[in-house]
């Protein structure tokens, strides 16, 4: 994998400031696979994102990163506290579907 040039390596504060200057108020800083879920074909991802002026961190249970971003999208920009979003998106029992086996 290629390395980023040093001019592209900013600290988090500068990166957030740059994104806000570009008119972005909601964006993901990082998403990391943390663990497999007990729900069939699901993983647990840790997502750190900016929602307005607030940095939030949440665990999201999803089939892949795209699925996690779709789920997160429903909760950003609405003023929902990060702890509430984490409880909803990181709770395995809330995402059980009839065809998903534990």
Q: Are 27 and 49 in contact (CB under 8 A)?
A: yes
pLDDT classification of 98: cutoffs 50, 70, 90:
very low
**Helix axes 65-73 and 82-89, enclosed angle (nearest 10):** 130
For the entire predicted model, the pTM comes to 0.82
pLDDT classification of 93: cutoffs 50, 70, 90:
confident
User: pLDDT by residue (tens digit) across 29-86?
Assistant: 999 999 999 998 999 999 999 999 899 999 999 999 999 999 999 999 888 888 899 8
């Amino acid at each position: 994998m290629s390395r980023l040039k040093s001019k592209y390596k900013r600290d988090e504060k500068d990166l957030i400031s740059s994104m806000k200057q570009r008119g972005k108020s909601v964006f993901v800083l990082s998403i990391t696979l943390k663990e497999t879920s007990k729900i069939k074909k699901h993983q647990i991802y840790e997502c750190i994102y900016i929602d307005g002026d607030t940095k939030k961190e949440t665990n999201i249970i999803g089939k892949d990163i795209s699925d996690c971003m779709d789920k997160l999208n429903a909760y950003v920009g609405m003023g929902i506290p990060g702890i509430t979003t984490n409880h909803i998106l990181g709770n395995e029992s809330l995402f059980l579907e009839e065809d998903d086996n534990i």
